[in-house]
Structure 1
Amino acid sequence: MTTNAPWQLSRRALIAGGLGIAATSLLAGCDTVTRSTDVTAINKAVALPDYVPWTGGPEPVLPKTSALMPSAFRKIPSSLVPTAKVPGDGSTLHGSVPTNSPVPPAKGSNPYWQGLDKRMGVDLDLTITPNADWGNKFATQVAGDTLGDVFTVFGTFSYLPQFLEAKAQNLTEYLSGSGIREWPYLANLPTASWKGTVFSGGIYGVPVPRGPLTTGVLHRRQDLFEELGVDPSFGSLDEFTALCREVTDQNKNRWALGSVPTNILASMLGVPNQWDEQGGKLTHMYEVDAYQDMLEVSRKLLADGLVHPDSVTAYNGKVWFVQGSAVMLQDSYSAIPGLLQQAEPGSGFAMTMAPFVGPAGAKPKPWLGDPNNAITALAAASEDRIRTVLDVLNWCASPFGTEAWMFRKFGIEGRDFEYRDGAPVLTKTGNSETALGEFPLQYFTECPLPLFYSGFPGMTDTVYESLASWLDDGITNPTYGLYSPTNSTKGPAVGTYATNAINDVLLGRAPVSSWKGVVREWRRRGGDAMRREFEEASAARAGS
């Protein structure tokens, strides 16, 4: 969520609005709805699953400088760890998942999907929905009770805890504490990710982890900087602005930035990651003076023509970056494989990441991305059925270095991929059948993302060095994993109000000085209530 430009509504916020009506209708007769404002009960803690790092695969090629550092690899190991067993029982497993990639061919014409069935031991029946349509589709499935056995759940929609209590299996007895050890690949998922699955004193899902790679960073077209003879480094806000001016040439369809780089500016100006917590009290980023400073800098970048002119109305930053019309792009670390894949072979495309810069020379404290993309819920079922589904999810979380991971990402050798210079590369068929290597099975769950870029071994070192420079200084959103009823029910509308006001400032329709009045209204419409509830939720989680 933190990779968006200041004026962009997150996809999850849009989803939240579409699901509110469906969730409210579904739960109208459920006892759990009576607890919809019981912040303490909803945020009651539970013993999280033990964290047991998996050690059965290849050794990372670079040291773990931080507990948050992903394992780093430059190549596929010559010997893969075999799958211990086929996890399924031959039954049909219905699932509902979103996708960011093109929807893959149906199973009947997709040997890769058929191979998944064989390896997983199930008849995998997926309802796959493009992200743009996910909110409406999910709402329809909720209303029709057709979500299936396993379904992706994003973190913000109305009555989320009550929805999960009514429709999902409480997994606490299976996964809490040492129980997780029955599923070693799930036990390999970090503790921070499990925090996003806890509601009403229970574990109601399995993480879809992304770890620190969700963090927004400033990607640079290193090849273009070299072609222009420009040093891409900067050590202050003024130097950054000067750099943007130096590389922008509108006559050549080239702009410095694909969008206003919120995360980069936040680090430079000391803006908190959504909320700042001090002594149990919360202050929202909108309320600090540094946020207004960030609006002024953002407004000026746009007014001076240093940002792609379509960034507000028709954002397509990844394409602009690959094509060269945006020399720098703020996006997550997890976007790197897709950017590399989009680049034209032989074009000389080369990318690096700009170091974060702190305010007035102070140590930078970047916004650390949320640990999960989403969570996956299981429909309530018998104990045998739940254990079978968890076996399947455990297979889905098999890490880098296993046969299962290799098949999930690359499919069938000679059909979906071929080796080039020792690295697996997807074919045209493979791109289609595996959904660009991101088959939506990854929204069931996934292993902690490694630093591995097939065919680009040097990128592993580039990303590793970037992460190592700041990872232990990154600041988290202190409300992650906590539930505020006001944020759930009013958050999308309040967010739209703030976003519209931000747009007005950035596009010159309102002065930056109007922001203080916006903040007062934001507080009145729900900001203060969210603050109180998150503070109560934090106390409940800590004191349980």
Structure 2
Amino acid sequence: MTLSRRRFLGGSLAATAVAGGLSGCATVTRSTDIAALNKPVQLPTYRRFDGPKPDLPRSHPLMPDCFYRFPEQPGRVTDGVPGDGSDMSGSAPTSNPIPPTADRNAYWQELNNRLGSPLALTITAAADYDDKFATSVAGDTLGDLFNVEGGFSYLPQFLEARAQDLTEYLSGDAILEYPFLANLSTESWRGCVYSGGIRAVPIQRGVMSTDLLLARQDILDQLGVELESPNLDELIKVGKAVTDEKKKRWAFAVPPKWALCAMLGLPRDWEVRDGRLVHSWELPEHKEMLTITRQMVVDGLIHPDGVAKPNQKVWFSQGSAVLTQDTYSSLQSFYRRSVVKSFAIGIPVVRDQSGKVGRVLLGKPNNSIAAIKPSSPERTKMLLRVLNWMAAPFGTEEYLFRKFGLPDRHYTLKGTDPVLTEAGQSEVCLGEFPIQYLADGGYPVYFPGRPEAVDVAYGHLKAVLPTAVLPPVYGLYSPTESTKGKVFTTRFDALTKDIQLGRAKLSAWDEAVTEWRKSGGDAIRAEYEQAMSIQGRK
């Protein structure tokens, strides 16, 4: 799920509700106590699930499992049902059309049968979820299981007050009672630890959420243009070769920020350099990136609305943009929406000016997190069994049902690959029923019916993972970032667009960075550095 700007900023509404609701609670950690907020805990033991052997070798510890096709006879790996017959409730977002309610949805009805406890799930459009979340916090109607976006203010305090402390159930070997949760990566669990406790379960995406440069390989082939492993000069040369304004075709749907970051050696946000945290905004290479993208706009290489009103998924699918930014996991959605038979996606391995593979900035390990309402030990264990069932990994019968529903009604087989029917697209929510935002298994490289896309993604991962960089402050909490970070991001995003469109001079960037450092940037740096020291990361 990609968070919209509205949803991201809307977190402040939830934060206001949370702060107001927790202001009198003496058991909640003070918002300025960096040591207490970032106190470490023994993370869950990782135990890889012994499932089907991937079709391609795992050449790197972060390499996802890669499968060309679904196993022919997936086995059921759970006994009985995880629920105890009692009613459950929950809250989750969706980026797809909201599915029919349980009384009109055969998938949901079968889901309840398999859970063994009926789930009343409040599903909200992703763009509206934070507003709904704030209302639910105020009214205490989030339910037993609820999705939480990890970036809003006062998150540790909220989780301490309103979420079950799961440490005794999940820390160390205790998690082995829930083997599918134990199959989730150690890095993903770091994003669930606040105030010295495990407060949630991860909605893991791993490297599949990494932002990349994608290319319409079929268009490049038709034009006789090669784009294999370009440096900056070669990328711009290709951009000029494929742009044809008369045919309403531009090189880039949006400014290719992440490809340029890889070429210039820029971090996603924070990075440790010479023993100290620095932010991308304050590095000279960031201004160089602004200069490059401004020139791309001047040269007409970026879609005319690509800065001010981007609609890159549509433009890339239609072919009015040959290159765009998106993630590994987006490949399947692009193939699903394409109406061009020859449609093909390439992922170029960009290089820096010295010719080395550009350092890719990996996405955050988690999409979000999900918490459990405080309850008795017996009910908490039951709800964890439910979440464990929802995290059943690829290749199992449980996974096949979760993602594709019932055979014949919701999917048919093409070979061994499930293909959603019209009923499946509606009732199973395009294969992304919102329980995937309460718990989910690791995200494999698997694109049903598109083995060539698996090869493309695998080839790129194999090339970039040896030098790829994980977010260094992921799982750390800065009070100043929590309360001011979204405002800073909004300001810099707006200034970036103004510079790219020629409405502001490049010198305005230096002024903005100076103001950012004074008004909170240096405080965020100091808080993160203290948190890193507390957790032994530095």
TM-score normalised by L of structure 1:
0.96
Tell me which residue corresponds to 1:122: 117
How far 1:496 sits from its partner (Å)?
1.8
Q: Which residue of 2 aligns with 1:428?
A: 422
Q: How does 1:168-207 map to 2 (within 5 A)?
A: 168-207=163-202
Q: What is the correspondence of 1:88-127 to structure 2 with a 5 Å cutoff? A: 88-127=83-122
Please identify, of 420-429 and 402-411, the stretch whose mean Cα deviation from structure 2 is larger: 420-429
Which residue of the partner structure matches residue 367 of structure 1? 361
**Residues 282, 296 of structure 1: CA spacing in aligned structure 2 closer, same or farther, 3 A cutoff?**
same
Question: Distance in 2 between the 1:423 and 1:380 partners?
Answer: 40
- Is 2:443 the counterpart of 1:443? no
CA contact (8 A) 1:257 1:329 kept: yes
For 2:40 and 2:152, the matched residues in 1 are separated by: 21
- Residue of 499, 514, 519 corresponding to 1:520: 514
Question: How far is 1:303 from its partner?
Answer: 2.2
Aligned equivalents of 2:8, 2:480: Cα separation in 1: 14
Q: Does 1:23 align with 2:18?
A: yes
Residues 1:60 and 1:431: Cα distance change in structure 2 (over 3 Å): same
Secondary structure of the residue that 1:26 maps to in structure 2? Answer: helix
* 2:457 paired residue number: 463
**1:261 matches 2:246:** no
> What residue in structure 2 maps to residue 139 of structure 1?
134
Selected match of 2:75 from 67, 81, 94: 81
Structure 1 residues 25-50: Cα deviation after superposition (integer angstroms, max 9, x where no partner): 11121125561100111000000000
Amino acid at match of 1:496: T
Deviation at residue 371 of structure 1 after TM alignment: 0.4
Q: Which amino acid aligns with 2:299?
A: D
Deviations 1:449-488 (A, max 9, x none): 1111111122212111111101121112211110000000
Deviation at 1:388, TM superposition (A): 0.4
After superposition, the Cα gap between the structure-2 partners of 1:543 and 1:73, relative to the gap in structure 1 and judged at 3 Å, is closer
CA distance in 1, matches of 2:428, 2:476: 35
* Structure 2 counterpart of 1:500, one-letter code: A
CA distance in 1, matches of 2:70, 2:519: 52
- Please name the residue that 2:472 is paired with: 478
1:291 corresponds in structure 2 to 286
1:239 maps to which of 220, 234, 239: 234
The alpha-carbon deviation at position 363 of structure 1 amounts to 3.5
Q: Which residue of 2 aligns with 1:382?
A: 376
Paired residues of 2:29 and 2:36 also in contact (CA < 8 A): no
CA RMSD of aligned residues (A): 1.7
Rounded to whole Å, the distance in 1 between the matches of 2:232 and 2:288 is 12
| 1:320 pairs with 2:294 | no
Residue identity over aligned pairs, in percent, reads 46
Kindly tell me the number of residue pairs found equivalent between the two proteins.
537
- 1:146-199: per-residue Cα shift (whole Å, max 9, x none)? 100011111111111000000000000000000000000000000000000000
Separation in 2, partners of 1:540, 1:280: 15
Given residue 35 of structure 1, which amino acid in structure 2 is its aligned partner? R
Alignment partners' CA distance in 1, 2:383 and 2:136: 20
What displacement does 1:67 show?
0.6
- Consecutive unaligned residues of structure 2, counting only runs of 5 or more, are none
Q: CA deviation at 1:70?
A: 0.7
Deviation at 1:438, TM superposition (A): 0.7
The counterpart of 1:529, out of the listed 514, 523, 531, is 523
Deviates more, 1:529-538 or 1:361-370: 361-370
Say whether residues 1:158 and 2:164 are aligned partners. no
TM-score scaled by length of structure 2: 0.97
- The DSSP-based 3-state class of the residue aligned with 1:35 is coil
Equivalent positions of 1:209-358 (< 5 A) are 209-278=204-273, 280-344=275-339, 347-358=341-352
Query: Tell me, what secondary structure is at the counterpart of 1:470?
Result: helix
Residue identity matched to 1:41: A
Cα distance in structure 1, aligned partners of 2:212 and 2:164? 37
* 1:10 CA drift (Å): 4.9
What is the rounded CA distance, in whole Å, between the counterparts of 1:356 and 1:116 in structure 2?
44
Deviations, residues 375-414 of structure 1 (Å, cap 9, x unaligned): 1011100001110010011111101111110001111111
Aligned partners of 1:34 and 1:438: how far apart in 2?
A: 36
Per-residue deviation at 1:118?
Answer: 1.1
CA distance in 1, matches of 2:12, 2:246: 41
Q: Is the 8 A contact 2:7 2:129 kept in 1?
A: no
SS at match of 1:193: helix
Q: One-letter code of the match for 2:206?
A: G
What SS class does the counterpart of residue 9 from structure 2 fall into? helix
Q: Which moved more, 1:209-218 or 1:305-314?
A: 305-314
- The letter of the residue matching 2:204 is P
Determine which of 436, 458, 481 is the counterpart of 1:487: 481
User: What is the identity, as a one-letter code, of the residue corresponding to 1:475?
Assistant: V
Go from structure 1 to structure 2 and tell me whether the alpha carbon gap of 1:508 and 1:331 turns closer, same or farther (over 3 Å shift): same
